[in-house]
């Protein structure tokens, strides 16, 4: 921590700061500047929160943290990229661009089977589909729940595609983990710490979506919650942040890809469907994501978008998805990767 | 719903739209404009989500909803302001400006008792204090949990102040409800729908904080989740939204007061401590909130902010809180209200 | 400047940093931390931009500035509040809350005279009205230009109210200054540096509006542009920042009042009309502004809002304005000020 | 325009609305819904602003515009993509991905010549470099002005690269146009309407940067300002929008590419240097931009970033730029384009 004193702060104010630093188990080190003093507090990070509070002391201008608050998620701890195994032939974080695709919600056996066959045919590696749905309105369709999980499992049996589906509360997390290959944490639950701890205790890879107004640092702190409970298999998913722009549902932050790649060893996946909210914009954002280095994509595909029970406007039809996959493969190859 | 066709859309595209509207149980009504057609879909709101999906049809420019998606929270349902009784002599939503004050976290018996006595002396009506703490970092202090609830209850016994404390997961919600007079839902859980439903089933007023990037409409939808489960006693709390500005921790949106007053009958409370993140800015924002018509305030007060285990930088010392309350009273009186 | 080295940075990288600091005319001072080194660069601020660039060097984690980049606008230079004289009996920055009111645009002699008489009767101190209008669309009404200035001058002659009106380009700035008592710089021109320099050379108080996504620091830098050219009479005006919220036209940032009061000696004025975009929300935001310590208000008042040529939806009718002023006076008095 | 009445609005309120619509030269058309009436106003767009103001009338819930406010920039007017010729062999908007590269500021003859030779060698098509610099601080380097323009012209003579440079005020716009092949309008001037009109009267292509908090619609309106003065050669440049995220200088909005491609015929260029503010993130964002369909890129390249007089932290060294260009070419080819 760096404590910046105000210009012309009194010596007695500075002495109180020095004393407080020592009381917290740190060693103070003063730099006398031309207009003000700056004090470094040397020590571990046991007392960082306490040091931050020195900002309330008289004569203190600001307290600047110099360390990142996450550890397990950090590249400082683990330099090489984490490879997360999803199934026998699907590993995310390496040279394979992993595509997860399927409908927003599981609606019926016919719908999920048709979707699974279609996305498999186009080359997807994982089937997505929601059984428990967190909806903004209590009056919207809330998902088929366990019945939906069973239908997903049937689709997996038929196609061999592992499945990713959302967990919305600690209570049903174990139930979902019985069926799912990847547990998804939605954007609205990205700081539901009770839920993060719960999935941290389960033996399943977690796809953690970034919250709508979550900074990269907070995103990594949420990953850290899961990892600190023992589960290291966290896949980070950028799905658009909230801005003033209304032409898209969210603003897809693709610079999050290189930023995260610089800070963490965890794989990064992009959700262009929620990120844009409009099926017209999905394919270009898929290409851009892979070109920017994303480890994977999660895409909404629905056999009949006009009759989807949620998010129809942002779902691709199977034929469009197939077309997109063909071109995406070429972009992956330029980057020395496979699809 | 209003469906706007593209300029020059083909007749057959329009016919598909008309057919779809009828299939969904609505009656279409066309307005032929100079450059494009606009179609109204007349009916109840059973099929609103389905209508929204017509946006994916060929020839459709956009679909505009014209109804608010919340009902129970709406002034269209209940015109007069809701009065929510907290205790024998504390009612929020009427002419009494209700002040909730206390430390961010319950840390020890001495600390919470000292805080309770101090805020009571200054005129606060409710004691706040966190026992279960949702912290961004898994390595930060997570609260005293049930022990903290017991200490809050002791402070209530001693001072007569009802208590407000946070619920962070469905599992411990009933436990918290045994002790608390008001259940607080934090900003990070404002769209944790499982938790909202759970507190909707409990017989306790709920203080619902606005999420960091939640629109007013989504805020009311979250209130609707609680109300649709049977609990009508929802207090809305604006606590700052996330913007690009870094001089304050969040941007306190005081215009939310008149906006909410125009749309809902529920009381509105302001949290200037989290809203600004800096104790220097708390008093002016308290005055502004009451002048703008807020029904109450929730304020962090700590006997020893430098040693607080969380949020010290934004906590008022008891003497500053007392000073603020004296002036706040005068502002309340100008507005024909009491403190 | 504080240069934070990466954990485990090589000694040779650190030596390059030390050498660069010395080359820029600064004295380096190293703090050896437990996991990384931190280097202070001691000296004036001639080389701050250059120091910032050290962030590109190998082994450097980040460069933290510790000084504010503005000087003339800063409280470090001038502790007492600046009083800016507008006319014989209007001074802003002291105990008088100054209210500027009038239509968005000057439309006709009858309209501006009627408006001026109405706002004067209700107790306003300054007449506002746009003659040169910066409009988002080239097809919108662009103002009466010099003819509008003449009508404003007529209204001043009749009522004695000084006038504030907008300057939109360097070329016509002197013309506007011949008529206006206060030169307004609009939000869209808040970083039009050529214009800021130009009004810095004129002998007229400047009302500088905050840009839609301008930080407090950038706002003060724009004031600094004007002041560095010789004109110290800058009035800062918060008019709403752009956020994700759509219930209001902008989000009025009232915490900017105490934040600015802590950093600068310049007076602060609030524009609740543009800040909210809706006449229903104007009065509560006026009360809140004064309670929070604003030095003044600038409010749109129009005798016939439905027929206004711009911004009708946010304009108060004269009778509503009068009602608001009566209550505002009481809030000002609580704060020991007059209206 | 669609006027939505409040639920249960009185018949007399509705009649006032109908009368107002007719007075404005529109034909009203009522749809009687189950809970409220909705009124379409049929006619051209002469009275759109006036119709918007009906929102202030009693009984009106909201007024919804259904037309885009821009015309010349719209695809409704011109379906095929605009090709803008920069020089004999550089045309933007077609199958050639146009790369503009060079230093943020022109600093000296040696620096701009060295930069020009380096970017040409790597395959850039246009040389960028600032002579007039709009800087946030009045104390920062403001550019070499006309001397800088002359040095740019020398670099063009030597390399054959056309040049793009910024115009910061109407007064010097013609001077800049004597030297430049493309006139750049910076983000801070993106709603400086006097400047937009001025460059609309000059015979030079304009590179218009999106403002920091400008919506896509406002961006197209600013293009419309230039086009409505007669200059149709507008190149739109996304350079990052302002959000809460602090890990990057701005948030580069790549979804703006497909959104703009859907609405306008004008070419779209991306500036990943300002968009991210960090040279580490530039190359991935270049690849992503081209994959998403951008017509070009504008990139900061400096032979000696640590000694750049502005924006060193986001500049690529020539060898990194060359490396990036080699890979970029492959991505362009996948998309059927050339570099």
The whole-number average pLDDT for the span A87-116 is 97
- D partners (3+ CB pairs within 8 A) are A, B, C
Please write down the HEC assignment for all residues of B182-213.
EEEECHHHCCCHHHHHHHHCCCCCEEEECCCC
User: What was the pLDDT predicted at D117?
Assistant: 98
Q: Which residues of A touch C34 (CB under 8 A)?
A: 42-44
Identify all chain D residues contacting A288, using CB atoms and an 8 Å cutoff.
254, 257, 288-289, 291-292
Interface of B with C in 242-271 (CB under 8 A): 243-248, 251-259, 262
Are B159 and B246 contained in the same domain?
Answer: yes
Asked if pLDDT for residue D122 goes beyond 90, the answer is yes
| D235 CA: distance to closest CA in chain C (Å) | 18
C241: closest chain B residue by CA: B243
Instruction: Using CA coordinates, name the residue in chain B closest to C336.
Output: B327
In whole angstroms, what is the distance from residue A226 CA to residue A183 CA? 12
**Phi, then psi, of A290 in degrees rounded to 5:** -70, -40
Of B64, B96, B114, which residue sits at a domain end? B64
- Measured between CA atoms, the residue of chain A closest to residue C28 is A31
d(CA C18, CA B242): 38
**In-domain check, residue D74:** no
In this predicted structure, the answer to whether residue B25 has a pLDDT above a threshold of 90 is no
Q: A123 near A339, Cβ under 8 Å? A: yes
Together in a domain, A48 and A139:
no
- The tens digit of pLDDT for each residue in D148-168 reads 999 999 999 999 999 999 999
Nearest CB neighbour to A168, from listed B194, B306, B313: B194
The pLDDT of A296-324, averaged and rounded, is 89
Residue B79 covered by a domain: no
Nearest chain A Cα to C29, which residue? A31
Answer whether residue B151 shows pLDDT above 90.
Answer: yes
Query: Could D34 and B40 be called an inter-chain contact, meaning their C-beta atoms sit closer than 8 Å?
Result: no
Cβ-based contacts of D215 with chain A (< 8 Å): 244-247
Interface test with B, best of D25, D28, D38, D51 (most B CBs within 10 A): D38
SS3 B100: strand
Helix (H) or strand (E) holding D323: helix D318-334
B64/D243 CB distance under 8 A: no
pLDDT tens digits, one per residue of C241-252: 999 999 999 999
> Are the Cβ atoms of C194 and D141 closer than 8 angstroms?
no
Scan residues 7-46 of D and list those with Cβ closer than 8 Å to B: 7-8, 29, 31-36, 38, 40, 42-44
d(CA A203, CA A174): 10
CATH number at residue C97: 3.20.20.70
List the structure tokens of D233: 């050669």
Share the mean pLDDT of chain C.
Answer: 93
Residue C223 burial class via C-beta count within 10 angstroms: exposed 0-12, middle 13-18, buried 19 and up: buried
Where does residue C123 rank: exposed (0-12), middle (13-18), buried (19+ CB within 10 A)?
Answer: middle
Which pLDDT band holds residue B152 (cuts at 50, 70, 90)? very high
Residues with Cβ within 8 Å of residue B218, at least 6 apart in sequence: A136, B191, B211
Query: Which residue of D lies nearest to A292 if distances are taken between CA atoms?
Result: D284
Residue of B nearest to D44 (CA): B34
Please, are residues C103 and C151 in contact by the beta-carbon 8 Å criterion? no
- Assembly ipTM: 0.92
Closest by Cα among B164, B160, B147, B158 to B103: B164
Contacts with C2 from chain A: Cβ below 8 Å: 2, 38, 64, 66
* Nearest CB neighbour to A188, from listed B53, B171, B191: B191
D261: in domain:
yes
Confidence grade of residue A175 (pLDDT, cut at 50, 70, 90)? very high
Question: Which of B217, B219, B245 has the most C C-beta neighbours within 10 Å, making it the best mutation to test the interface with C?
Answer: B245
Cβ-nearest to B331 among C258, C289, C291: C291
Q: What local confidence, expressed as pLDDT, does residue D333 receive?
A: 97
Q: Are residues B232 and B154 in the same domain?
A: yes
Mean pLDDT of chain D: 93
Count of CB contacts below 8 A, C vs D?
A: 121
Q: State the nearest Cα–Cα gap between B47 and chain A, in angstroms.
A: 10
Question: Chain D closest CA to C256's CA: distance in Å?
Answer: 17
Q: Please count the structural domains in chain B.
A: 2
- Please give the Cα distance from C285 to B257 (Å, whole number): 9
Return the residue in D1, D23, D71, D139 with the most chain C beta carbons within 10 A, the one to mutate for interface testing. Answer: D139
Cross-strand pairs, A5: A60
- So what's the pLDDT on residue A306? 76
D194–chain C Cβ distance below 8 A for any pair: yes
CA distance A171 to B174: 14
Q: What's the rounded Cα separation, in Å, for the pair C325 and B89?
A: 34
Q: Is residue A74 part of a domain?
A: no
Structural contact between residues C81 and C94, judged by C-beta atoms closer than 8 angstroms: yes
Determine which of A190-194, B84-88, B136-140, B207-211 has the lowest per-residue pLDDT on average.
B136-140
Is the model more confident about C8 or about B118? B118
Chain B contact for C95 (CB, 8 A cutoff): no
Q: Is residue D92 part of a domain?
A: yes
Q: Are residues D29 and D152 in the same domain?
A: no
Say yes or no for a CB contact (<8 Å) between C69 and D137. yes
Give the model confidence (pLDDT) of D33-56 as tens digits. 777 888 888 877 677 777 877 877
A324 close to D (CB below 8 A) = no
Contact: D64, B61; criterion CB under 8 Å: no
What is the arithmetic mean of pLDDT over D93-115?
A: 97
Q: Average of pLDDT values for B160-180?
A: 97
A-chain residue closest to B195, CA distance: A169
Residue C2 forms beta bridges with which residues? C40, C64
Q: How confident is the model at residue D5 (pLDDT cuts 50, 70, 90)?
A: confident
> Same domain for A181 and A284?
yes
Partner C contacted by A66 (CB < 8 A):
yes
Contact, C306 vs C296, CB < 8 A? no
Beta carbons of C32 and A44 less than 8 Å apart = no
Among the candidates C34, C64, C94, a domain finishes at C64
User: At D101, is the secondary structure helix, strand, or coil?
Assistant: strand
Query: With contacts defined as CB-CB under 8 Å, which chain D residues touch C168?
Result: 193-194
pLDDT of residue D77: 84
Contacts of C11 (CB under 8 A, 6+ apart): none
| Partners of residue A130 on adjacent β-strands | A105
Report C:154-193 residues touching A (Cβ under 8 A): none
> CB distance C2–A244 less than 8 Å?
no
Asked if C198 and C161 sit in the same domain, the reply is yes
Q: Are residues A156 and A35 in the same domain?
A: no
Look at residue A70 and tell me if it is in a domain: no
Residues of C in contact with A251 (CB under 8 A): none
CA angle, D142 then D143 then D147, to 5°? 145
Q: Please answer yes or no on whether B38 and D2 come within 8 Å at the CB atom.
A: yes
The whole-number pLDDT of residue A137 equals 83
Whether residues A218 and A128 fall in one domain: yes
Same domain as A111, residue A28: no
CATH of the domain at D7: 3.30.70.1140
**Beta carbons of A138 and B191 less than 8 angstroms apart:** no
What pLDDT is recorded for position D68?
A: 74
Contact indicator for B27, B43 with CB cutoff of 8 Å: yes
What confidence score (pLDDT) does residue B205 get? 98
CB neighbours of residue A65 within 10 Å: 15
Q: Give the count of beta carbons closer than 10 Å to the beta carbon of residue A270.
A: 28
Q: Does D56 touch chain B (CB under 8 A)?
A: no
- Among residues D64, D92, D118, which one ends one of the domains? D64
Distances (CA, A) of C324 to C231, C286, C320, C328, D57: 34, 8, 6, 6, 20
Name the residue among A29, A35, A246 with its Cβ closest to that of C31: A29
Of D35, D38, D67, the CB nearest to B2: D38
Probe site for chain A from C7, C37, C38, C45 (most A CB atoms < 10 A): C38
Residue B65 pLDDT grade (very low, low, confident, very high; cuts 50, 70, 90): confident
Query: What's the confidence (pLDDT) of residue C142?
Result: 84
What integer pLDDT is reported at residue A61 of this predicted model? 82
For chain C, positions 196-215, list CB contacts with chain D under 8 A.
197, 212-213
Enter the DSSP assignment of B277: S
Q: Are residues D142 and D263 in the same domain?
A: yes
Q: A242 and A288 share a domain?
A: yes
Whether residues D225 and C138 touch (CB distance < 8 A) is answered with yes
In A, minimum Cα distance to C77 occurs at A7
Using a CB-CB cut-off of 8 Å, the residues of chain A touching B302 are none
**Rounded CA gap, C225 and C204, in Å?**
15
Strand D2-5 versus strand D60-64 pairing type: antiparallel
CA distances from D108 to A276, C82, C179, D163, D226 (A): 44, 42, 44, 16, 32
Domain assignment of residue C109, given as a range? 84-334
Q: What is the mean pLDDT of residues A154-167?
A: 98
Q: Is residue B76 part of a domain?
A: no
Q: Which two tokens stand for residue B264?
A: 């809902």
The answer as to whether B73 is a domain residue is no
Distance from CA of D312 to the nearest CA of C (A): 6
Q: How far apart are CA B93 and CA B107, in angstroms?
A: 31
* pLDDT tens-digit series, residues C202-258: 999 999 999 999 999 999 999 999 999 999 999 999 999 999 999 999 999 999 999
Claim to verify: residue D172 and residue D272 sit in the same structural domain: yes
Q: In this structure, how many other beta carbons lie within 10 angstroms of the beta carbon of residue D327?
A: 16
Q: C57: which 2 tokens? A: 């060097």
Q: How far apart are the C-alpha atoms of B23 and D155, rounded to whole Å?
A: 67
Q: Which of B137, B168, B227, B234 to mutate to test the interface with A (most CBs of A within 10 A)?
A: B137
Q: Choose, out of C21, C26, C40, C55, the residue to mutate when testing the contact with A (most A CBs < 10 Å).
A: C40
């Amino acid at each position: 921590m760096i404590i910046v004193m105000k210009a012309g702060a009194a010596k007695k104010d500075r002495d109180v700061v020095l004393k407080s630093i020592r009381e917290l188990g740190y060693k103070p080190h003063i730099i006398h500047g031309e207009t003000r003093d700056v004090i470094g507090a040397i020590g571990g990070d046991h007392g960082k929160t306490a040091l931050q509070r020195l900002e309330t002391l008289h004569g203190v201008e600001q307290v600047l943290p110099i360390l990142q608050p996450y550890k397990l998620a950090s590249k400082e701890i683990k330099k090489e990229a984490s490879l997360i195994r999803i199934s026998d032939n699907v590993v995310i974080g390496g040279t394979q661009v992993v595509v997860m695709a399927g409908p927003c919600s599981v609606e019926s056996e016919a719908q999920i089977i048709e979707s699974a066959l279609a996305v498999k045919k186009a080359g997807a590696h994982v089937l997505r589909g929601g059984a428990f749905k967190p909806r903004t309105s209590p009056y919207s369709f809330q998902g088929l729940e366990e019945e939906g999980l069973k239908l997903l499992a049937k689709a997996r049996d038929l196609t061999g595609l592992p499945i990713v589906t959302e967990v919305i509360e600690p209570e049903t997390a174990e139930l979902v983990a019985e069926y799912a290959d990847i547990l998804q944490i939605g954007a609205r639950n990205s700081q539901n710490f009770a839920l993060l701890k719960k999935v941290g205790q389960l033996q399943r890879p977690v796809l953690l979506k970034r919250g709508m107004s979550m900074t990269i640092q907070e995103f990594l702190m949420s990953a850290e919650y899961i990892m600190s409970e023992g589960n290291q298999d966290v896949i980070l998913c950028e799905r658009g942040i909230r801005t003033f722009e209304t032409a898209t549902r969210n603003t897809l932050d693709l610079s999050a890809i290189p930023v995260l790649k610089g800070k963490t060893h965890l794989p990064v996946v992009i959700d262009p469907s929620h990120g844009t909210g409009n099926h017209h914009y999905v394919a270009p954002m898929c290409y851009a994501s892979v070109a920017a280095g994303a480890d994977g994509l999660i895409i909404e595909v629905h056999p009949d978008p006009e009759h989807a029970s949620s998010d129809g406007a942002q779902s691709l039809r199977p034929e469009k998805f197939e077309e997109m996959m063909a071109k995406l493969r070429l972009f992956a190859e330029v980057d020395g990767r496979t699809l």
